[in-house]
Amino acid sequence: MKLLRILFPRRHPVQGGHATGGIAPALLVALLLAAGFSPASAQTAPDIAAPQAILLDYDSGSVLFERAADTSSAPASITKLMTMAVVFGEITSGRLSPDQEFKVSEYAWRRGGAPSGGSTMFAAVNSMIKVSDLLRGAIIPSGNDGAIVLAEGISGNELAFTVKMNQEAKRLGLTGSLFVNASGLADPDQKTTPRDMAKVAVHIIRDYPDLYKIYSEPDFLWNKIRQNNRNPLLGMSLGADGFMTGYQKDAGFNLVGSAIQNGQRLVVVIMGAKSEKERAEDARKLLEWGFRSFESRTLFEAGQIVGEATLYGGERNGAPLTSDTPIRVLIPRNGDEKLVARIRFEGPIPAPVEKGEVLARLMVYRGEQLSLEVPLVAAETVPAGPLWRRAMDGAYELMVSLLRQGYAKITG
């Protein structure tokens, strides 16, 4: 793993770092932003009770707060975010129509419907229900029966549908999640993390904005029964417009929410709270603190050169790195905060490389906390070099490899 100097814009004062670790070069760059840091007003996070939580900025991906955000726990009904991510994908691709009807099986009715005693949309057994109504039934009152019927209708049975859920989880980069049902009903193998749920939430908002609007609908009427939206954030004047809650006896009370104020959107996840009141209050505290305490700063504009990745056997020794979108990070308002940034890549990278090819990742840390991680791409195509250059690079890499092995033996 290589870590290289980052070429910050001139408007940001930069402090140089020192090489760290073994033979591979590693140069850390500290970025000092703003002035007049006030810990009490800008950086001190609110006191929350939940054992697990994360708060992140939707636009930049900056993590503003985290607590045990990578610890896997039972998701309960927030599992339905992944269920809906799969269903929304089916609709958007044209493989599924909102007007299509699915039959309510006896399994879906008994396991997730009125007889189950859990959250339900009260779908009648053997009835035919449109996908658009099943979506609202699974989202607004968090109906387990609605989620199961959708899973069965798309994949034939719920277990087959979870294959799609786990494939989508892998595609989205979820690292601590496993899904074994579509509803979130208790199962010892089903697990997720606050960070993973935040990733799914961002994906839904960004890729399915029209379908995301269902999450803000205040109530749902089905089978002559009107049920209110279970998301407590919607009534708190926070600008909240989506996502849902979950509860499991052994895991506690969970919540995923999103709110937008003055064009800034935040995503919050609470897991393991002791009560409905606690999870709602913790989420409210984090959102209010995030909107009040942070502001967005642009580190690099879209297309601006961020740094360079070392190449092997190329026409030249390096490939300039950039991002297709602006790279922004949230920092405390009226504050002075040091951020440490690193470019990470597995290298040297063999040539040729194509313009737009993902070569590295930019990692920005606030203290020990990873605040921002974004992919970096080649700013231009670099073809393979002549035979003599490839031979020289090969000899150099062989020598470095042998030196590393010797160093490991001596220090081991």
Residues labelled catalytic: 77, 80, 142
How far is it, in rounded angstroms, from Cα 102 to Cα 105?
Answer: 9
How far is it, in rounded angstroms, from Cα 27 to Cα 6?
Answer: 9
3-state secondary structure the chain: CEEECCCCCCCCCEECCCECCCCCCEECEEEEECCCCCHHHHHCCCCCCCCEEEEEECCCCCEEEEECCCCCECCHHHHHHHHHHHHHHHHHHCCCCCCCEEECCHHHHHHHCHHHCCCCCCCCCCCEEEHHHHHHHHHCCCCHHHHHHHHHHHHCCHHHHHHHHHHHHHHCCCCCCECCCCCCCCCCCCEECHHHHHHHHHHHHHHCHHHHHHHHCCEEEECCEEEECCCHHHHCCCCEEECCEEEECCCEEEEEEEEEECCEEEEEEEEEECCHHHHHHHHHHHHHHHHHHEEEEEEECCCCCCEEEEEECECCCEEEEECCCCEEEEEECCCCEEEEEEEEECCCEECCECCCCEEEEEEEEECCEEEEEEEEEECCCECECCHHHHHHHHHHHHHHHHHHHHHHHHHC
- 375: preceding bond cis by omega (within 30 degrees): no
Quote the tokens at residue 8.
Answer: 């910050």
Q: How far lies 412's CA from each of 23, 270, 286, 385, in Å? A: 15, 43, 46, 37
How far is it, in rounded angstroms, from Cα 317 to Cα 246?
Answer: 52
